[in-house]
Structure 1
Amino acid sequence: MASPTNPNSFSLVLILLFLCSSSFFTPSAFASEVDDETPFTYKEGSGKGPKNWGHIDPKWKVCETGKLQSPIDLLNERVQVFPHLGKLKRNYKPAPASIVNRGHDIRVKWKGDAGKININGTDYKLVQCHWHTPSEHTFNGSRYEMELHIVHQNSKGETAVIGIVYKFGRRDPLLSKLFHKIRSIGKEEVDLGIVNPGDIKFGGRKYYRYVGSLTVPPCTEGVIWTIMKKVRTVSREQVHALRDAVHDGFEVNARPTQQLKGRPVWFYTPKENEGST
């Protein structure tokens, strides 16, 4: 990984973050992920796969024409180390939530104030989380078994997503608490009562940061991505439950990686006196 040598490099990072997160927005920039999966699939050759998303609906054309698309491959030689990005500031708290099968994934949505993260002085409130199997982001070309997306929005409706990838191993705590709901969920949204987002375990401070897009239609750009370096574990049974719950054809719901197109990718690692995990 490359390290900055210019003393003004951190200022440059902030400028780039601002440009990437503000000047690429269109009037529909804050559109949510599509909830109706009927028009699209993840199967290439079906006419509705990822390579065709941009042609299915005029509102989705950025899926093909966009220059800030996600997911990406986090390749070591492209990453710039910036310790001054600072540790990820998150302050979550238990709140009422619901679970729904969107067909293409399982989503948990918090209805009350479930806390927030802070990026460069801006608060982004926790909105929802959902899972992709296998992972969407790759590390030096390697794809993991699952990826959790934790979605946040600020007061302007701008989006910041934290991604955590998983390999097979011990059971994941959050999925353990939701396991029976996931296995029995139908088409209706179901209240979960109080759900503690603190059950989402991060397990480390190191992360990657870049500006990208939603990974499902409408592929809206300007999303600030934070991908945790730590690889967590999930059981095979938990992954199978997620795959069994979604609609046929969406058991594998990971979009292929997209071209970086010159975007910077930053990597935060704690300084020695801060500790490292």
Structure 2
Amino acid sequence: MKKLIRSLPLLVLALGVTLPAVAGVHWGYEGDELPENWAKLSPEYQMCGLGRNQSPVNITTPIQAQTAPLEVHYGTTSGNIVNNGHTVQINEGKPDDYIVVDNQQYHLVQFHFHAPSENQINGKSYPMEGHFVHSNANGDLVVMAIMFEEGPENTAADQLLARLNAKENSPEAFDNIDIKSLLPANMQYYRFSGSLTTPPCSEGVTWIVLKQPMTLSKTEIDKFTQAFKHHNNRPIQPLNGRLIIEN
């Protein structure tokens, strides 16, 4: 319990909750607040400049490993969708959705989107990337990333966007949306140790990047990017000797 309590500030920041007392100095993706300056904005954000295991990364030359298949237990869920000024975020309303990593359950707390993608695969960037943020009982984080490219529309994304309020920090509730339909059929993945991709850039986050991309229609991609009003992707960070494994 003590470890969970100590982890709460990190978890709150990871979830993008807009609480001035917790969020600290304002940061962004433009002007003086762009990612290259995050470490200068506040002592709380020093890891953005000093960290050695930062995200996102360019995934190249992964090492083949005998890893367990990724177990994903998602279903029909409820919650709310909000433009929080940094991203479009979907906050999970039920505790039922989880993944299993290293024989531990990590429950889905929220997911959000970046355009263009933050991570790259062999130097390739995608129009959008979804980050599904999970936490276990100790407050440890696993982010499952899914790449999106232009193609057929996605029913779940369309249902979510229909509930999105263009006004910032104005959450709108939704119900009975099958979020598993946002995931590909092939759940093979890359895995590496990284960080939050937003301040305070805390490290110790397990990253799982799915190999198979999903599709969104041009209209859906445009609706997301219009909500962002600007790119919201952090530049690629150096690996600094880290290994990336794949299954």
- TM-score normalised to structure 1 length: 0.79
Contact 1:29 1:222 in 2 (8 A): no
Contact 1:167 1:231 in 2 (8 A): yes
The corresponding residue for 1:175 is 157
Q: Structure 1, unaligned stretches of length 5 or more?
A: 1-24, 269-277
SS in 2 for 1:47: helix
Cα offsets for 1:110-131 (capped at 9, x unmatched) = 1222321011111100111111
Q: Return 256-265 or 236-245, whichever deviates more.
A: 236-245
Distance 1:182 1:27 in 2: 27
The corresponding residue for 2:48 is 63
Distance 2:11 2:231 in 1: 26
Aligned residue among 6, 9, 13 for 1:32: 13
Distance 1:135 1:188 in 2: 25
Offset, 1:95: 2.9
Aligned residue among 90, 110, 115 for 2:92: 110
Aligned residue among 36, 43, 46 for 1:51: 36
| Distance 1:41-1:29 versus aligned 2 partners, 3 A rule | closer
The corresponding residue for 2:200 is 218
Aligned residue among 225, 232, 243 for 1:264: 243
Offset, 1:28: 6.0
Contact 2:7 2:139 in 1 (8 A): no
The corresponding residue for 1:12 is none
The corresponding residue for 1:253 is 232
Distance 1:156 1:145 in 2: 34
Offset, 1:190: 1.5
Aligned residue among 163, 187, 191 for 2:145: 163
Kindly report the root-mean-square deviation, in angstroms, between the aligned alpha carbons of the 2 structures. 2.2
Which has more radius of gyration? Answer: 1
The corresponding residue for 1:235 is 217
Q: What is the aligned-residue identity percentage?
A: 28
| Distance 1:61-1:26 versus aligned 2 partners, 3 A rule | farther
Matched AA of 1:122:
Q
How many residues are treated as equivalent by the alignment?
A: 237
Q: Structure 2, unaligned stretches of length 5 or more?
A: 1-5
Contact 1:107 1:131 in 2 (8 A): yes
- TM-score normalised to structure 2 length: 0.88
Distance 1:205 1:95 in 2: 21
